[in-house]
Structure 1
């Protein structure tokens, strides 16, 4: 499990499963000859995308950022359509760290699409129950409202079985949520109307988690946004703002979906990789 330290805050990547989605959809209007120079694809034009939560530990508090694609939540057709070749083993990852799901104090949800939220619940005796029973689940109020009342476009990604069992644990925020000014969630919209980014800061060190505004290192061009984005111009606006912020801070940019890099530190122009943490591929 790869790790990153921001001051006294420790980040550890867990195993949340993997999907393979269409590269054209992931890079939107970007021509294939351009994006294929940045990120590999298979014979079906699909790119590998991890769904690996990040365990954040600070002052004895355990935060989990995103929850993976879960286990046993998808039928064979869904697995085929989403290119799922490995389901989540977050609980096993936590056990290796001497923790259990009950030890998670906060679950930070940048948004609640199925590939981020399936790990919130699991089947037990025929009913869905919370995987993290002692955690407060944090997301924006816009996201939480759409999760429960999806529109004709979003209903395929906001699944009832991912929220009903944890409804009593959810705490939503309007514009910003913060834990001691060290871990902040800021509503951006873009990928979804309720999408948020996460900023982690301690001892003059910074990590910027852009979530699905910048799902992989190959999306660092401000204009390279996904066809999956509900509000692409908001994605570009938010991405530009927080990319510029992170570059000025010499921040680490962390990833949930990237199959090759866990975190990257770019130069001030955002073009040259100055430091990185690669995912250890089995």
Structure 2
């Protein structure tokens, strides 16, 4: 606001320089993170008092080791889960690159948004994404992660179809926020599903797939610009919605590949009794310290 609220290059140049300078200390802070030491084949024993345990009782839970957990989850065709989700991410990124980068131009050219109005819009969308992510997480505890992701991504895709035909600015803003929030809310759950099906030493390999996703985003942005110039922004929205629909349908196999307990509110603490042959991997021992009176 103090630098100016007009679409003029000198003003925009100053803003870009200031933002770039601010990024230096924030990026430096990220270098301070350290990986938590993890032993793949070590067991974790957790003592839980209270809750469902009786007075004076201690519940010791042996958590499945990394390799044991993955061996269980990969039963059948479970090993396909990371591939399905990663391919879904790439397809979604191709569609997003055609549209997301042109939302600011859409609001600026079609609705005359000023720089300040546009920044308020972008900042508000980030808040909505945070709220939608929490809502998606809560929904996953009721429906399961796969169904929650399908529901939220489906709503986001439907909203993008609506954006390609809607002209009323108040309604358009509402749909825009819903689309942005719901479409991006599934990312943490997708990551958790992938991590459930890979051992720790392979997680870096699957995280590297995100670089392919970023590359597809950049490439499709050129196609999106060509569509916007040759037609209009709403035409590009419609094409992206079709791509999102394909990505959404690709989630259907996950309904059959992923087996999870909906009532389990903590995915990290597995409380199911799993048997591998005749060996029990999860042992629950109750020790009663209550003295008889």
Answer yes or no: same fold by TM over 0.5: no
TM-score range for the pair, normalised by the shorter chain length: under 0.3
Whichever of the two has the greater Rg, that structure is: 2
With CA pairs under 8 Å and 6+ residues apart, which has the higher RCO, 1 or 2?
A: 2
Structure in which a larger fraction of residues adopt helix: 2
TM-score after normalising by structure 2: 0.21
